[in-house]
Amino acid sequence: MPNPPAPSERYLSPAEVAEMLGLTTRSVYTHVAEGRLPASRLSRKMLRIAESDVHAFVAARRIGATA
Protein backbone atom coordinates (compact mmCIF):
# COMPACT_ATOMS: atom_id res chain seq x y z
CA MET A 1 0.00 0.00 0.00
CA PRO A 2 1.50 3.38 -0.97
CA ASN A 3 2.27 6.00 1.63
CA PRO A 4 -0.09 8.97 1.89
CA PRO A 5 1.18 11.77 -0.36
CA ALA A 6 2.77 14.90 1.08
CA PRO A 7 0.58 18.02 1.00
CA SER A 8 2.79 19.51 -1.72
CA GLU A 9 2.56 16.36 -3.86
CA ARG A 10 2.03 16.97 -7.57
CA TYR A 11 -0.84 15.04 -9.15
CA LEU A 12 -0.88 14.08 -12.81
CA SER A 13 -3.62 13.10 -15.20
CA PRO A 14 -3.36 9.76 -17.00
CA ALA A 15 -2.50 11.68 -20.19
CA GLU A 16 0.37 13.48 -18.42
CA VAL A 17 1.68 10.17 -17.05
CA ALA A 18 1.43 8.60 -20.50
CA GLU A 19 3.43 11.44 -22.04
CA MET A 20 6.00 11.33 -19.24
CA LEU A 21 6.57 7.58 -19.68
CA GLY A 22 6.11 7.30 -23.44
CA LEU A 23 3.01 5.13 -23.07
CA THR A 24 -0.51 5.38 -24.38
CA THR A 25 -3.20 6.72 -22.08
CA ARG A 26 -4.91 3.35 -22.36
CA SER A 27 -1.77 1.64 -21.01
CA VAL A 28 -1.77 3.95 -18.01
CA TYR A 29 -5.42 3.11 -17.30
CA THR A 30 -4.57 -0.60 -17.62
CA HIS A 31 -1.71 -0.30 -15.09
CA VAL A 32 -4.09 1.48 -12.70
CA ALA A 33 -6.90 -1.05 -13.21
CA GLU A 34 -4.54 -3.97 -12.60
CA GLY A 35 -3.17 -2.38 -9.41
CA ARG A 36 0.36 -1.74 -10.64
CA LEU A 37 0.03 2.04 -10.52
CA PRO A 38 -1.84 3.62 -7.59
CA ALA A 39 -4.31 6.39 -8.44
CA SER A 40 -7.05 8.46 -6.84
CA ARG A 41 -10.46 8.79 -8.42
CA LEU A 42 -11.61 12.33 -7.60
CA SER A 43 -14.89 12.02 -9.45
CA ARG A 44 -16.56 9.67 -11.89
CA LYS A 45 -14.45 11.00 -14.75
CA MET A 46 -11.36 12.39 -12.98
CA LEU A 47 -8.40 10.20 -12.09
CA ARG A 48 -5.13 11.55 -10.71
CA ILE A 49 -1.82 9.85 -10.05
CA ALA A 50 0.74 11.12 -7.54
CA GLU A 51 4.05 11.94 -9.20
CA SER A 52 5.87 10.00 -6.48
CA ASP A 53 3.83 6.90 -7.39
CA VAL A 54 4.90 7.29 -11.03
CA HIS A 55 8.55 7.39 -9.94
CA ALA A 56 8.04 4.34 -7.69
CA PHE A 57 6.31 2.51 -10.56
CA VAL A 58 9.31 3.12 -12.83
CA ALA A 59 11.84 2.23 -10.12
CA ALA A 60 10.06 -1.07 -9.41
CA ARG A 61 10.44 -2.05 -13.06
CA ARG A 62 14.08 -1.11 -13.43
CA ILE A 63 16.30 -3.84 -14.84
CA GLY A 64 20.06 -4.17 -15.05
CA ALA A 65 22.82 -3.05 -12.74
CA THR A 66 22.04 -0.94 -9.71
CA ALA A 67 24.18 2.02 -8.73
Q: What does each C-alpha distance from 37 to 33, 57, 65 come to in angstroms?
A: 8, 6, 23
* Domain range summary for the chain, segments of one domain joined by +: 11-60
What is the pLDDT at residue 16?
A: 98
Is the pLDDT score of 2 beyond 80?
no
Asked: is 11-60 a CATH 3.10.580.10 domain? The reply is no
pTM: 0.81
pLDDT in tens, 42-54: 999 999 999 999 9
In terms of pLDDT, which residue wins out, 16 or 4? 16
Q: Which H or E run contains 56? A: helix 51-60
Q: How sure is the predictor about 6, in pLDDT bands with cuts at 50, 70 and 90? A: low
Is the distance from CB of 14 to CB of 28 less than 8 angstroms? Answer: yes
